[in-house]
Amino acid sequence: MIGSPHVHHRVTDSTNERAKRLAADGTPHGTLVTADEQTAGRGRQGRQWVAPPGRALLMSVVLGVDDRTPLVPLATAVAICHAFPQADGIKWPNDVWVGGRKLAGILIEGRPRDGWAVLGIGLNVATEPGEFPEELRETATSLKASGSDVATPGEALDVLLPVLDAWLEAPSDAVLSEWRARDALRGRRISWAGGEGVAAGVGDDGSLLVETDDAGVQSLHAGEVHLGSPGG
Ligand code: BTN
């Protein structure tokens, strides 16, 4: 079961950074790092991850690498949706939404050749709408803002950990079918740095399939996509 040993920091730079240092020093699969506050929280695509102290679940888990690793981000998003049933959509690759607003983000980093990866999760638990940075106020939400009884990051961790443990072990076809049932982009027009088209689901390797106007179906393996046409 993931979650042991568990290192908790009142304040740290980034739980992913801490977990990576522990992994490089040989800490076992399942090691959990949490924090009340991060001073240099990282998001995908080089962005910052900002959360008011004590309001979000900030966690990183060290995982051994195996043939399931490519689906870990998808399995984690599915686990969050099962643990917190108001989470009703997943935006590829792994933003968890409630009613079109982002509840949680996932950042996987690692050194596959050294046999480890770090799974980082930021989940807004008790953040009040006015506490989100100005630019996120229209697009972010928290468990509290979406009517959940889960009131603290500690409670959220207790709910999530066993569910996450189970989904990280689940067969790929179960992960993919649960992910596909929550696909927030399918059938919608999207754009990315290299083009635009209509989202057509995920492939068995977790890539995003896009039906483009002129180049048939393309597979996106990484990066960021946006709803709508570029600039639209
Ligand atoms: C994203 O949506 O861009 C991913 C956000 C991931 C944030 C979490 S918070 C805990 C862990 N430590 C970090 O520095 N980042 C991840």
Q: Ligand 1, residues 18, 45, 58, 157: which to mutate, most atoms within 8 A of Cβ?
A: 58
The residue among 19, 16, 67, 83 whose CA lies nearest residue 44 is: 16
42 lines ligand 1 (CB under 6 A): yes
What's the pLDDT tens digit per position in 116-157? 999 999 999 999 999 998 999 999 999 999 999 999 999 999
Alpha helices by DSSP H, 49-125:
72-83
What's the pLDDT tens digit per position in 177-204? 999 999 999 999 999 998 999 999 999 9
Task: Note the residue count of the chain.
Answer: 232
Which ligand 1 atom sits closest to the C-alpha of 106? 4
How far does residue 208's CA lie from ligand 1's centre (Å)? Answer: 21
Q: Report pLDDT for 194.
A: 86
18 lines ligand 1 (CB under 6 A): no
Write down the pTM of the prediction: 0.96
CB count in 10 Å sphere of residue 228: 11
How far does residue 121's CA lie from ligand 1's centre (Å)? Answer: 5
Six-digit token pair at 20?
A: 């990576």
Q: Report pLDDT for 229.
A: 76
- Give the residue-averaged pLDDT of 35-51: 96
47 lines ligand 1 (CB under 6 A): yes
160 lines ligand 1 (CB under 6 A): no
How far does residue 96's CA lie from ligand 1's centre (Å)? Answer: 13
73 lines ligand 1 (CB under 6 A): no
Ligand 1 atom 15, closest CA:
42
Q: Report pLDDT for 148.
A: 95
How far does residue 215's CA lie from ligand 1's centre (Å)? Answer: 34
The strand ranges marked E within the chain are 6-12, 32-38, 56-64, 89-91, 95-98, 101-111, 116-124, 189-192, 195-202, 208-212, 217-220, 225-227
- Give the residue-averaged pLDDT of 160-167: 98
44 lines ligand 1 (CB under 6 A): yes
Q: In what order do the strands lie in the sheet with 101-111?
A: 6-12, 32-38, 56-64, 116-124, 101-111, 95-98, 89-91
Q: Report pLDDT for 159.
A: 98
12 lines ligand 1 (CB under 6 A): no
- Give the residue-averaged pLDDT of 158-174: 97
Q: Per-residue confidence at 231, pLDDT binned at 50, 70, 90?
A: low
Q: Report pLDDT for 21.
A: 98
